[in-house]
Chain A
Amino acid sequence: DAGVTQSPTHLIKTRGQHVTLRCSPISGHKSVSWYQQVLGQGPQFIFQYYEKEERGRGNFPDRFSARQFPNYSSELNVNALLLGDSALYLCASSSTGQETQYFGPGTRLLVL
């Protein structure tokens, strides 16, 4: 079975642009979480979705939004990009959100 997949793998944007990152969970998993990992630091929690509902939100500005689709895939949207948004964006899925999370390979975003 395929693991968690994310697209694109790499992305370069300029300040002020908008970006959409995509995540497909492991088949049967209904919970998706998003994390931001700035170079040299541990990941930071952005959002968790379960059954298409937002279950949790980290300390990120409103420029960050997400949604989960009926097939449990998810999108993370970031508006008005800033240089500081350059990071590895990780998606993780789990069956119910109450157990081990399985991570995708990440999308590396560079904002110039």
Chain B
Amino acid sequence: KNEVEQSPQNLTAQEGEFITINCSYSVGISALHWLQQHPGGGIVSLFMLSSGKKKHGRLIATINIQEKHSSLHITASHPRDSAVYICAAETSGSRLTFGEGTQLTVNP
């Protein structure tokens, strides 16, 4: 069993839909990261959170420390949101352990 698991692996949505990607982790963490990876490999950090909820534009990230679970929500999804979304758990020594990623495709 991976230390960080994401679901779903693949997600297809229509433009405008509300999207949720889930992340569960089994290790003790100092922070939980959500990252976006576009075709070609470039990775952008979206959120780093250790408690509660953060919002940036149409993106919302939440974390429940007791349940070791985090979610990434995208409101009013758009085709340009199509990318791989990766959850990563930051453990001791600032090491990141990554999930397998969720491939999101938003169709117009």
Contact = CB atoms under 8 A, between A and B. Distances in A.
Interface of A: 31, 33, 35, 37, 41-45, 48, 55-56, 58, 88, 90, 92, 94, 97-103, 105-106, 108
Contacts of A44: 98
A5 to B, nearest CB: 12
A56 B93 contact: yes
Nearest to A50: B94
B97 interface: yes
Interface residues of B, number: 21
Contacts of A35: 96, 98
Interface of B: 4, 33, 35, 40-45, 48, 86, 88, 93-101
Contact of B41 (A33, A42, A105): A105
A102 B94 CA distance: 13
A108 B94 contact: no
B94 A56 contact: yes
Contacts, number: 60
A38 to B, nearest CB: 11
B86 A42 contact: yes
B43 A90 contact: yes
Given A41-B100, A42-B100, A45-B97, A99 B86 contact: no
Contacts of A100: 33, 45, 48
A100 B90 CA distance: 10
B41 A99 contact: no
